[in-house]
């Protein structure tokens, strides 16, 4: 179904796809910032906690929508019609089953979490959008295999525009949780229509035993890792919501959401492109090593100053935004989550590297260890430290990312220290200057823009004068063949 492409063509598509994803992330981040401000200003931590809990319930159901077949389609060298038909049929059978279970257990969910009436409507809306979104899987896979993420990005931009504007307007009008309910449904239908316009495909039902066996050989271990990620991240949120209450969970959700925003924008986009790219060049370890070096280099160049700056400035942001002081108790949580996010970002490229090479058992093993550690430590830490327990646990688990890179070295040569030290030292110098200014400038409205702009300038010139790294030229070299 596909033609072989040269490394140069793959590189061009990779850059275009990555830039497109970053544009989408930047655009969505702007809208998300506006929506998050509107929602967290207008809504109480308890209502925000209900929203976080409901999303986690749907994430649990989302696991049962796939058995790794979609990832198998992306990873395969050659794709056949039977593979696509089989994947779609199996996935839809599982989706319908999961959604049915979701609706049938509504009373159980309502009673367990004591959800209000509007919370149940949001739960149903997310179930509906869950089914609708599953119909987008195959057209999206076609675009990902061709590394044409710019078309996927267009769909996401339109979806996010509809979702965030709807949330902002309805929250301002006083609809509280209903704002999310309506926005979720509109987003789902909008994305479905647009993806089929950009990547036409006629759904076909049928199961090929040969295709299913081949796809499952990669898909089952891959999905097992996904299940562990679900168990580690989303089920633990449901656990915390029950034992700590919605207000405490609201603080945790707020801190975690803001601390992980740079990771979601940067690493999630890189990972989406990295998986199909390495899958296409999986037999050339030299090229893979160069790709990993560049990923480590550029992610540190962006993430280090961003997270350092966020830690220093978030206290001032809370002072400046009206009605935002209610989130002050979550600031210490935010600092811990930021550090955990920075460490965990260095495991993402290598986990994608293992999956792209078809070595899903390795990624599964690491995910199993992280999941067991998270569930063992979270109850203990929560008992000892209250709502600080979960962030501390994540920090401990994230610090083990060094073992992931060590395991990857047995397959390919790359250079971590050489890739990260320049940006790390420059970021530390930037942070020192910013902290001095924060202490000197008393007015928060003057402090925020002054410290932010100074930090950017200091970081730029620290790289330039200390290490001869010009950020502008670095960006330009990305587009050179």
Inform me whether the pLDDT recorded for 455 exceeds 90. Answer: yes
Percent of the chain with pLDDT over 70: 69
Counting beta carbons within 10 angstroms of the beta carbon of residue 471, is it exposed (0 to 12), middle (13 to 18) or buried (19 or more)? middle
Chain centroid, CA 149 distance in Å: 16
How far, in Å, are 305, 340, 401 from residue 346 at the CA level? Answer: 15, 11, 6
Inform me whether the pLDDT recorded for 480 exceeds 60. Answer: no
Domain residues of the chain, as ranges?
245-481
Look at 20-24, 189-193, 407-411 and tell me which has the smallest mean pLDDT: 20-24
**Residue 272 vs residue 466, higher pLDDT:** 466
Q: How confident is the model at residue 67 (pLDDT cuts 50, 70, 90)?
A: very low
Contact 294, 423 (CB under 8 A): no
Q: pTM, whole model, 2 decimals?
A: 0.62
pLDDT of res. 3: 46
| Alpha-carbon span 388 to 335, nearest angstrom | 11
DSSP-derived letter for residue 67 is S
Contact 321, 37 (CB under 8 A): yes
Alpha-carbon torsion 61, 64, 68, 70, what sign?
Answer: negative
3-state secondary structure at position 166: helix
Q: With left for phi above 0 and alpha for psi between -120 and 50, is residue 199 left, alpha or beta?
A: beta
Cα-based angle 212, 218, 223 (whole degrees, multiple of 5): 95
| Alpha-carbon span 425 to 430, nearest angstrom | 9
Nearest to 461 by CA among 420, 427, 437, 415: 427
Residues 6 or more apart in contact with residue 196 via CB below 8 angstroms: 139
Segment 160-177 shows an average pLDDT of: 80
Tokens, residue 239: 């656990």
**Residue 110 vs residue 70, higher pLDDT:** 110
Mean confidence (pLDDT) of the chain: 77
Tokens, residue 360: 């899903």
Segment 448-458 shows an average pLDDT of: 93
- Per-residue model confidence as pLDDT tens digits over 15-40: 555 555 556 556 666 666 666 666 66
**Residue 354 vs residue 473, higher pLDDT:** 354
| Alpha-carbon span 114 to 112, nearest angstrom | 6
Inform me whether the pLDDT recorded for 66 exceeds 50. Answer: no
Tokens, residue 301: 């160049």
Q: How confident is the model at residue 425 (pLDDT cuts 50, 70, 90)?
A: very high
Q: How confident is the model at residue 59 (pLDDT cuts 50, 70, 90)?
A: low
Inform me whether the pLDDT recorded for 9 exceeds 70. Answer: no
Q: How confident is the model at residue 355 (pLDDT cuts 50, 70, 90)?
A: confident
| Alpha-carbon span 51 to 47, nearest angstrom | 6
Inform me whether the pLDDT recorded for 60 exceeds 80. Answer: no
Tokens, residue 269: 């986009």
pLDDT of res. 419: 82
**Residue 268 vs residue 309, higher pLDDT:** 309
Specify the residue for token string 């060094």: 402
- With residues binned 3-state (H G I as helix, E B as strand, rest as coil), the percentages for the chain, rounded to 5, are 85, 0, 15
Look at 152-166, 176-190, 221-235, 444-458 and tell me which has the smallest mean pLDDT: 221-235
Tokens, residue 474: 């670095």
Inform me whether the pLDDT recorded for 255 exceeds 70. Answer: yes
Inform me whether the pLDDT recorded for 424 exceeds 90. Answer: yes
Highest mean pLDDT among 1-15, 63-77, 133-147: 133-147
Look at 1-15, 74-88, 360-374, 410-424 and tell me which has the smallest mean pLDDT: 1-15
Segment 408-417 shows an average pLDDT of: 81
Q: How confident is the model at residue 65 (pLDDT cuts 50, 70, 90)?
A: very low
**Residue 269 vs residue 65, higher pLDDT:** 269
pLDDT of res. 227: 61
Counting beta carbons within 10 angstroms of the beta carbon of residue 266, is it exposed (0 to 12), middle (13 to 18) or buried (19 or more)? buried
Specify the residue for token string 């034992």: 243
Inform me whether the pLDDT recorded for 1 exceeds 50. Answer: no
Counting beta carbons within 10 angstroms of the beta carbon of residue 65, is it exposed (0 to 12), middle (13 to 18) or buried (19 or more)? buried
Nearest to 240 by CA among 119, 347, 324, 333: 333
Residues 6 or more apart in contact with residue 265 via CB below 8 angstroms: 22, 25, 26, 29
pLDDT of res. 446: 92
Inform me whether the pLDDT recorded for 323 exceeds 80. Answer: no
| Alpha-carbon span 20 to 148, nearest angstrom | 9
**Residue 253 vs residue 397, higher pLDDT:** 397
């Amino acid at each position: 179904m596909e033609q072989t492409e040269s490394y140069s063509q793959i590189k061009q598509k990779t850059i275009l796809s990555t830039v497109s994803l970053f544009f989408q992330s930047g655009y969505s981040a702007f809208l998300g910032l506006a929506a998050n401000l509107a929602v967290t200003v207008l809504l109480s931590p308890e209502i925000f906690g209900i929203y976080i809990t409901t999303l986690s319930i749907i994430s649990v159901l989302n696991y049962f929508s796939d058995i790794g077949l979609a990832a198998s389609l992306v990873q395969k060298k050659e794709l056949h019609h039977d593979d696509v038909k089989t994947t779609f049929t199996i996935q839809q059978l599982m989706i319908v089953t999961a959604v049915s279970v979701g609706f049938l257990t509504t009373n159980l969910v309502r009673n367990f979490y004591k959800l209000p009436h509007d919370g149940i409507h949001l739960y149903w809306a997310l179930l509906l959008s869950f089914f609708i979104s599953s119909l987008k899987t195959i057209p999206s896979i076609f675009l990902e295999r061709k590394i044409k993420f710019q078309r996927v990005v267009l769909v996401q931009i339109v979806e996010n525009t509809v979702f965030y504007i709807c949330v902002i307007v309805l929250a301002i009008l006083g609809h509280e949780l209903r704002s999310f309910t309506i926005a979720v449904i509109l987003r789902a239908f909008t994305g479905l229509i647009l993806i089929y316009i950009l990547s036409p495909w006629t759904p076909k039902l049928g199961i090929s035993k040969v295709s299913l066996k081949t796809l499952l050989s990669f898909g089952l271990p891959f999905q097992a890792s996904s299940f562990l990620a679900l168990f580690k991240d989303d089920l633990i949120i449901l656990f915390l919501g029950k034992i700590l209450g919605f207000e405490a969970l609201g603080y945790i959700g707020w801190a975690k959401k803001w601390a992980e925003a740079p990771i979601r924008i940067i690493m999630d986009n890189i990972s989406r492109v990295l998986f199909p790219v390495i899958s296409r060049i999986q037999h050339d370890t030299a090229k893979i090593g160069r790709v990993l070096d560049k990923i480590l280099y550029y992610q540190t160049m962006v993430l280090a100053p961003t997270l350092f700056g966020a830690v220093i400035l978030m206290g001032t942001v809370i002072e400046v935004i009206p009605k935002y002081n209610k989130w002050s108790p979550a600031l210490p949580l935010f600092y811990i989550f930021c550090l955990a996010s920075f460490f965990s970002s260095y495991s993402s490229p290598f986990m994608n590297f293992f999956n792209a090479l078809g070595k899903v058992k390795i990624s599964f093993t690491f995910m199993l260890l992280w999941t067991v550690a998270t569930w063992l430590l979270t109850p203990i830490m929560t008992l000892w430290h209250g709502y600080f327990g979960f962030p501390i646990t994540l920090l401990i688990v994230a610090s083990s990312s060094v073992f992931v890179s060590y395991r990857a070295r047995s397959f390919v040569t790359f250079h971590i220290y050489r890739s990260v030290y320049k940006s790390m030292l420059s970021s530390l110098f930037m942070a020192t200057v910013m902290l001095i200014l924060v202490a000197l400038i008393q007015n928060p409205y003057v402090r925020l823009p002054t410290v932010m702009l100074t930090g950017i300038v200091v970081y730029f010139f620290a790289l330039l004068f200390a290490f001869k790294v010009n950020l502008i030229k670095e960006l330009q070299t990305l587009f050179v063949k």
